[in-house]
Amino acid sequence: MLQVEDLRVSFRTEEGEVKAVDGVSFSVEPGEILAVVGESGSGKSVTAMTLMGLTRSPNATFGGTAHFGGTELIGASEEQLRRIRGPEIAMIFQNPMTALNPVQRIGDQIVEQIRAHERVSRAAATERAVQLLARVGIPRPRELVRSYAHELSGGMRQRVMIGLALSCSPRLIIADEPTTALDVTIQAQILAELESLRADSDVSIILITHDLGVVSQVADRVLVMYGGRVVEQSDVDDLLDDPQHPYTWALLASVPRVDGEKPRRLASIAGSPPSLLRPPPGCHFSPRCPHRYDDCSNVPPLAAKLVAAPRHFDRCWLTAEDKLRLRSVDFERIGAK
Amino acid sequence: MFAISVFTFFIFQVIPNGDPALRLAGQSATPQTIAAIIKTWGFDKPVYVQYLDTMEKIFTGTVVSYSQQVNVLSQIQRGLPATISLALGAGVIWLFWGIVLGASSAVRAGRFTDRLLGVVALVGVSTPTFVVGAVSLYFFAYRVHIFPLSGYVPFFQDPWEWFMHLVLPWFSLSVVYIGFYSRVLRSNMLDALHEDFVRTARAKGLTQRRIWLNHVLRTSLIPVISLWGLDFAAVIGGGAILVEVVFNLDGVGEYAAESIMTLDIPPILVIVMYGAFLVVLVAALVDILYVVLDPRVRLNG
């Protein structure tokens, strides 16, 4: 349904060109939840927003392709994109506190989207807004449709955002860290909400997150991004059982486990994310990688399929044997697995 | 209010050559007449007693000016129609054009239109009001007789003449405000453009026009409206002294100017207090209006 090939996004800044997304390829099937994980600055949000044309600016240049249905998103005209935003692809943003207009009633914000795409009366659109609010679990929807964002809690606001995203029955929903700004208890509710969407319809979801716990809960496939590139991509179970890339190991090791036999020290990743102004010519993770060869920082590794799992890719120069050995050493050291 | 009245009163007590008895008495006054005046006007009493006396007269409406010894309050009342006419017309003009030019500038940010409007606004803000007034008088009233030279005609006497007499004053007074308001609105709008909810609006597939009008402009207008309320009150309070004098409108501002020239303390005091009162009143009205404009206030306030 969505096919992204070699997507490149770079921004001209005063200090030079920043390659925020550097050759990203992936695809999303109908009804699939794809999780995109990575640290801040890994290019995951830029990738997602670029699909909707939200990163367009005079300072941005784009490369590669993104086929969605019959449309090529990267070169689409503003008007083409406008028609796609809402009825085809909808977006849920990270911070529900600021993503809703503070001076417009939440019902009106939903009505506004419906009426931007369909010829329906205000009353009919309002009625649909009420239904949507009810569907995403807003109590007393007929009353709260007239409320303002500040009158609702964070979790309620995020539900409104989900209702807004659903209002024109999109085929793809991009959720950019939808739970990051919320309390842990609310996070679970919102995730359950997203999962039930998928169960009700065959909507696909791209879930951007830095939380591997979230990934293991809801995702079908996972994309691990680092420094604007995809370093590993796989079905979720496979990734958790058999992670291939040293960066993925490090990510997994930094997640607290409640089912571990003995408490262990959480691992942190030494160093800081690469500057995308002057990234190393080779693997972007190489400066922080404990297992790098000299050549790692000079020659970028290619995406390699795993023999045992053909839907599992990673970009690393280590051989399969080395990975197996080094991974167990890594996990041993921090006392996981 | 109290602080302002005290401050104004004492400022004029310490101004040199300010002895009101001397000026009341005239140039060829004998020491006896001066002494008599001091006695009747109470200038020999302590300063705070003089202040209290004046305040009492103000609030009982019996305060009179030094120079012509006419009732100050009725003088102000006489000037009010002209001043209110000036403020209403100019207020509408500068708010309208401030919004139009500011919004056009923001939509075209960084491009030629924006830069041109930026220069125009800068010129507008930095040209003194009396220069605009004098130049427009010269061209549109003196060289080409489109508009009358000066004066004020009451609305109910002749609406057309009322309008014609006020066009140039309205325009002259508005220039500075248009320049200022358009810049404020432009920067508000460009800030709003980076707000998350504007990104949401874009992600909803709205047209550019709707994004700008409904989301960017609407939220940016709120502070501009409150600014407008205060400036409007200041003009009604006699703040448009220069325009009123240049066009001889005979309003509250011109009365203030005359009184300052002759160091006539009672009218100055009353006008300052009345202006301050208006500003405070309008500030309160603006706060109430905010509740309508910005629903967030309802919760906090």
**Of the candidates A87, A99, A112, which has its C-beta nearest B206's C-beta?**
A112
For residue A337, what pLDDT band results from cuts at 50, 70 and 90? very low
Chain A contact present for B207, CB below 8 A: yes
pLDDT at B119: 92
Retrieve residue B268's tokens: 């100055």
B22, B262 Cβ separation under 8 angstroms: no
Out of A245-259, B81-95, B104-118, B179-193, which region has the weakest mean confidence (pLDDT)? Answer: A245-259
Q: What is the pLDDT of residues A15-48, one digit of tens each?
A: 888 999 999 999 999 999 999 998 888 899 999 9
Q: Give CA separation, A266 vs A67, A212, A217, A336, in Å.
A: 40, 14, 20, 9
Chain A contact present for B204, CB below 8 A: yes
Chain A contact present for B111, CB below 8 A: no
Instruction: Return the residue of B nearest to A86 by Cα.
Output: B204
Closest CA to A99 of A51, A52, A158, A155: A158
Out of A198-207, A240-249, A265-274, which region has the weakest mean confidence (pLDDT)? Answer: A265-274
Q: What is the mean pLDDT of residues B135-142?
A: 87
Q: Assess whether pLDDT exceeds 90 at residue B204.
A: yes
Residue A42 CB neighbour total at 10 angstroms? 28
Chain A contact present for B195, CB below 8 A: yes
Q: Who contacts B242 (Cβ-Cβ below 8 Å, separation ≥6)?
A: B128, B129, B130, B133, B253
Q: What is the ipTM of this complex?
A: 0.86
Residue A84 and residue B296: Cβ atoms within 8 Å? no
Cα atoms found within 13 Å of the Cα of residue B8, Cβ hemisphere only: 22
What percent of chain B stands above pLDDT 70?
95
Q: Assess whether pLDDT exceeds 70 at residue B170.
A: yes
Q: What is the overall mean pLDDT for chain B?
A: 85
Retrieve residue B99's tokens: 């919004």
pLDDT at A85: 94
Domains with residue ranges and CATH for chain B? 2-48 (no CATH), 72-300 (1.10.3720.10)
Instruction: Return the residue of B nearest to A112 by Cα.
Output: B206
Instruction: Return the residue of B nearest to A110 by Cα.
Output: B204
What are the b/e assignments for B169-199, b being 16+ CB within 10 Å? Answer: bbbbbbbbbbbbbbbbbbebbbebbebbbbb
Chain A contact present for B299, CB below 8 A: yes
Q: What is the mean pLDDT of residues B128-147?
A: 86
Q: Assess whether pLDDT exceeds 80 at residue A269.
A: no
For residue A321, what pLDDT band results from cuts at 50, 70 and 90? confident
Residue A116 and residue B205: Cβ atoms within 8 Å? yes
Q: What is the pLDDT of residues B5-57, one digit of tens each?
A: 888 887 777 776 667 777 777 667 778 888 888 877 778 788 888 888 888 88
Instruction: Return the residue of B nearest to A85 by Cα.
Output: B205
Q: Assess whether pLDDT exceeds 80 at residue B109.
A: yes
pLDDT at A329: 79
Q: What is the pLDDT of residues A96-116, one digit of tens each?
A: 889 999 989 999 999 999 999
Closest CA to A250 of A224, A274, A229: A224
pLDDT at B156: 87
Q: What is the pLDDT of residues A159-177, one digit of tens each?
A: 999 999 999 999 999 999 8
Q: Assess whether pLDDT exceeds 80 at residue A266.
A: no
Domains with residue ranges and CATH for chain A? 2-88+172-334 (3.40.50.300), 97-169 (no CATH)
Burial class (CB in 10 A: 0-12, 13-18, 19+), B34: middle
Q: What is the overall mean pLDDT for chain A?
A: 87
Q: How far apart are CA B264 and CA B252, in angstroms?
A: 14
Which chain A residues are within 8 Å of B219, Cβ to Cβ? 101-103
Which chain A residues are within 8 Å of B294, Cβ to Cβ? 102-103
Which chain B residues are within 8 Å of A84, Cβ to Cβ? 205
Q: What is the pLDDT of residues A72-99, one digit of tens each?
A: 999 899 999 999 999 999 999 988 889 9
Residue A82 and residue B219: Cβ atoms within 8 Å? no
Q: How many CB pairs under 8 A join A and B?
A: 80
pLDDT at B301: 40
pLDDT at A263: 54
Closest CA to A187 of A163, A166, A213, A205: A213
Q: What is the mean pLDDT of residues A245-257?
A: 82
Q: What is the mean pLDDT of residues A63-69?
A: 93
